[in-house]
Each structure stands twice: as C-alpha cells, then as structure tokens.
Amino acid sequence: MEPRFNLFGTETGSKLAKRFAGLGQAVHQTSLPAITAELVSLRASQLNGCGFCLDMHVKEAIAAGEDPLRLHLVAGWRETTVFTEAEQAALAFTEEGTVLTRDGVSDETWAGVRKHFNDEQVAALICLLGLINAANRMAVITHQKGGSYQIGAMAQFQD
C-alpha cells in the first residue's frame, strides 16, 4: 500500500499539523512521565494498526532512555512483570479508551488511573489518548507507513 496523500504537504494540513504537534508538546510538558506517555502512544498505535505512529513512538521512547525489551512487551503487558502498577493502569486505560464501548472506560480501570495519577496527570493522559487516536486515524486513512521516521521530526511543526 502506497501513501495516498501527503497531509503535511498542503497549507491546511501543515497548519493543522503544527497546532496538533503543539498540543502533543503541551502534553509532554506536564508531570505525566514521558515514558508512560510513549507507552500509551505505542499501545494505542498497536491497537489501531498505525505503522507510522508505531515507528515514531518506538524510536522516541528509545531516545528517551526506554529499554527496548519493555517496548517489545507492550502488546502483552498483562502477561509480563516489567511494567509498574501505574504503567499497567495507563495501559488498561489506553486499551479501553481506544477500543471504545458504550460505557467507555470501566470503573475498575478508572479507579486504577486515579490511584496512580494526580489530576494534572489524568488530564494529560486523557488528552494524550485523544490525540494519539486522532493521529493514528489520520495516518491510517492516508496510508502512512512506518520505518522512515527520524527522531524529533515532528518538532518542525511546532511553533
């Protein structure tokens, strides 16, 4: 499958991408741990089948110091011992917030998030999940492939 459209190659797409990247940067400037943010982005991208975002978030996580072994285990996080309770709560939230049902996130998952994250971090987590799911959808719709992402590439779209 070849990319069908260069969203960033248009005036409108570039303008919106700049604002979108700025929102992502705002999330990364919160107290939500950067590695947690990358794990959330990676898991949502796995669920949505977004190769472009998988490529980006694996590379950005490694650049931020994440252990590649943990990244390999994200899809099976429930069956591992390498994620903290807080990360497990964020990953459960990611799954339920990505594959939505009528009820949204379960009370049990919500309680886990509230146990491990303060109000500012919860706000960041909610916004991050909305952003990564939107990014996944844009990349999947336009058939963007993973493999060529360069660390820090999205910075060009920030103010």
Residue 149 above 90 pLDDT? no
**Are residues 82 and 70 in contact, defined by beta-carbon separation less than 8 angstroms?**
yes
Confidence of residue 159 (pLDDT cuts 50, 70, 90): low
- For residue range 62-89, list pLDDT tens digits in order: 999 999 999 999 999 999 999 999 999 9
The crossing angle, in degrees rounded to 10, of helices 119-141 and 34-48 is 40
Nearest 5°: CA angle at 137, between 64 and 84? 35
pLDDT of res. 6: 87
Within a 13 Å sphere around the CA of 130, how many CA atoms are in the beta-carbon half? Answer: 10
**Confidence (pTM):** 0.93
Q: How many CB atoms lie within 10 A of CB 50?
A: 25
Per-residue pLDDT band at 156 (split at 50, 70, 90): low
Instruction: Note the pLDDT of residue 2.
Output: 84
**Superfamily (CATH H level) for 18-157:** AhpD-like (1.20.1290.10)
In the prediction, which pLDDT does 20 show? 84
What's residue 90's pLDDT? Answer: 98
Q: Is pLDDT above 60 for 157?
A: no
